[in-house]
Amino acid sequence: MLSNPLDKRLTRRRFAAALLGSIAALGLSIPAFAEWLDVEKDELKLGFIKLTDMAPLAIAYEKGYFEEEGLYVTLEPQANWKVLLDRTITGELDGAHMLAGQPLAATIGYGTEAHIVTPFSMDLNGNGITVSNEIWEKMKPHIEHDAEGKPIHPISAKALKPVVDELKANGESFKMGMVFPVSTHNYELRYWLAAGGIHPGLYSSTDTSGQIDADALLSVTPPPQMPPTLEAGTIHGYCVGEPWNQAAVFKGIGVPVITDYEIWKNNPEKVFGLTKEFTEKYPNTTLALTKALIRAAKWLDENDNANREEAVEILARSEYVGADAEVIANSMTGTFEYEKGDKRAVSDFNVFYRYYATYPFYSDAIWYLTQMRRWGQIDAHKPDGWYDEVAKSVYRPDIYLKAAEMLVEEGHVDREDFPWDSDGYKAPTPAEDIIDGIPFDARSPNAYIDSLQIGLKTDETVASNGS
């Protein structure tokens, strides 16, 4: 656990006052300092899971951005995503690094019910799908290779389907791990499998296993437990964030077959979540948090990722991710290793600031909601307007842009770094940027759902789908 004691806060304030007094006494002009927001709560406890995409929190702490916004923060790792969400709802945590699906699911009452909002998107991309060495060897004959004998990427789940079918014919189940039912990992894994003709299963109001009609059985495994669970043979593969795909390579127990950048180019990942009650009770504190996180995200991406080596050293510490620096660096510094020795340049594997990564787009929220509906977590048809309404109740670009405007005025960021004129919707994602070649337009969620081959259609329930 990381903490800032009270005397540190007092020392900093006294130091600042003394410095200004000394400058004035010498007859020198007082430099312009960013004026602190009058934060309503300055001592905060924030939660995270040990993944590299918690980096904005670690950097905001280590670089002093929280303190420069008048905040004294404790960062505390959490056992799993459910505990993290529950502790945010009860107020034991003031906010947290969250799966993007968590605020949406909680707000619509899927699982734990609470109104959670996000003023800040933490990153783009950052996940991968790994299979065991045994499964990989069986996939290889179904994968195209280049002149040097290396697999041609992206690898479709069509190469996995004969393996799944063989196991099924032998009375065995194909099992994969993902981190949480409303995680990006669950939806990305399902998307990849379905694009290759493998049914990943449905949810219903009475069966929350997500395994109805499944060709592949998906179940929850905490991220740090993915490699040992794979090694034990309990699962055949998994979808997870870093460094746990690269850990499988280093341990020699599995092969990452595809990154989420290859499934959906520059897809949204984690968010920073707060209860709506917190943002209403502590609006200036919320702004200060958002400002600090924006600054941290900029640091992580600036000068063509020049700070990533330092970021790796910070994240490798036991209080943050606690994995070997070499493993974290394998993806964090612009590369990604598939088979052992097959390391390739993937400059955008982790994106924290460029491409407006930190802006909480409504369209990102709507994609998650379409996947919840596709797989039965939302069990009945919803009109297009409902998706827009839910997205706007959870994603808060108004708070984000207010924080960004302050940072521009203070000289910390450039005005062109932000989409000031956006209505919250990105341009439709083109077919070539998605693994199954189906474009995504958030303004027409039901039409998008109906365009997907496997999964519920807009007028279907699990029962009417034949289950």
Band (4; pLDDT cuts 50, 70, 90): very low
Which residues lie closer than 8 Å to 398 by C-beta, 6 or more apart? none
Secondary structure element (H or E) that encloses residue 397, with its range: helix 397-410
Write the single-letter amino acid at 173: S
**Which of 343-352, 399-408, 456-465 has the weakest average pLDDT?**
456-465
pLDDT for 10: 45
Sequence spans of domains, the chain = 6-125+268-417, 127-266
Digit-coded pLDDT (tens) for 43-59: 999 999 999 999 999 99
Same fold, 6-125+268-417 and 127-266: yes
pLDDT for 19: 44
How many CB atoms lie under 10 A from the CB of residue 87?
18
Percent with pLDDT over 90 in the chain: 91
Band (233; pLDDT cuts 50, 70, 90): very high
pLDDT for 28: 52
Residue 12 pLDDT greater than 50, yes or no = no
pLDDT for 424: 97
Residue 418 pLDDT greater than 70, yes or no = yes
Band (25; pLDDT cuts 50, 70, 90): low
Tokens of 9: 């806060």
Residue 414 pLDDT greater than 80, yes or no = yes
Superfamily of domain 6-125+268-417: Periplasmic binding protein-like II (3.40.190.10)
Residue 340 pLDDT greater than 80, yes or no = yes
pLDDT for 463: 81
Q: What pTM value is reported for the model?
A: 0.93
Backbone angles phi, psi at 349, to 5 degrees: -60, -45
Superfamily of domain 127-266: Periplasmic binding protein-like II (3.40.190.10)
Give the 3-state secondary structure of 248-303. HHHHCCEEEEEEHHHHECCCECCEEEEEHHHHHHCHHHHHHHHHHHHHHHHHHHHH
Band (36; pLDDT cuts 50, 70, 90): confident
